[in-house]
Amino acid sequence: MTYPALPPYIAPAREAAEIWRTLLGLVLIFALYTGGAIAVVTFGGIVLGKAGLVTIADISEGRTPAGLLLLLFHFIAMAGAVALVTRLLHKRSVGTLFGPARLMWRDFGRMAGLAAILAIIGASVVALTAPVSWDMKIGTWLIFLPLALPLILLQTGAEEMLFRAYFMQQLGARFGVAARAVWMLLPALIFGTLHMDPASQGANVWAVLAVTVLFGAIAADITARSGNLGAAWGMHFVNNVQAMLLISLAGPLSGLSLGTIGLATSAPAVLPYFALDGAAMIVLWLIWRRRYG
């Protein structure tokens, strides 16, 4: 399988693609992100906490509107860390992480539109088959929506900058286009591992890992086919809008959902919905390959 759009996408990384430099970059990104995230959450928690809007538990789990908004906002630290390391350690423009701007936003819109259709279908299936509680008033939800959408755009953009841009480009530049097991699967495996939480996911932790690794691999493939970050970002954005703003599992990250499913993430009954997510990703990937890839 060839990826004619991939070589131009990874080309800016070639001049500083040494393994030691990439590993150092990841360590620096993690350190800067951690420090920045603590600062953002601490300052925001103090300000919002004094107003009685949020507690530390709200922020860490995103169970309330204010808590989830602040949790999403802290990803500005990740985006900043990736941008800083790319510019200072690798001596290249931050824009090279995204690919050509016009093509990136074009592909973002195309993928977001396709993903939105599948998201509506998926949410409808869940609403008809799962024990959903519609607890949030539509008026309250609409008030928070103008804040939530840009912050989910920020959160998903920051993760794509790290996994499908910086990390994927560095590995692709070092090992070559043919080394798909490296530049496609390694970031996807790390991406999936970071989504594991055995304490809350229980025996379903391996299902969560499988779905997130699948997402990461598909996002890498469509990025390689597109030569820019737009399609992966658009898919990630719509996926998280569906999961955080439409119907969520009760518990973490449910603070802004219109409806919540009365099942724990560890419950065996949620496995069909993980399978539904995986199937939707594969369908979306196949459509993208046929129409644009």
This model's pTM is above 0.85:
yes
pLDDT at residue 292 is higher than 90: no
Mean pLDDT across 54-81: 89
- Type of residue found at 216: G
Whole-angstrom Cα distance, residue 222 to residue 231? 7
pLDDT band at 293 (very low <50, low <70, confident <90, very high): low
pLDDT score recorded for residue 46 = 86
pLDDT score recorded for residue 245 = 96
pLDDT score recorded for residue 224 = 96
Nearest by Cα to 230 from 175, 145, 179, 293: 293
- Cα-atom radius of gyration of the chain, to the nearest Å? 19
Q: In terms of pLDDT, which residue wins out, 13 or 66? A: 13
pLDDT score recorded for residue 34 = 96
Measured CA angle at 150 (ends 128, 276), to 5 deg: 30
The DSSP call for residue 75 is T
The contacts of residue 56 (CB under 8 Å, 6+ apart) are 45
Mean pLDDT across 165-171: 98
pLDDT at residue 53 is higher than 80: no
**Tokens 């459509």 label which residue?**
287
Whole-angstrom Cα distance, residue 71 to residue 199? 20
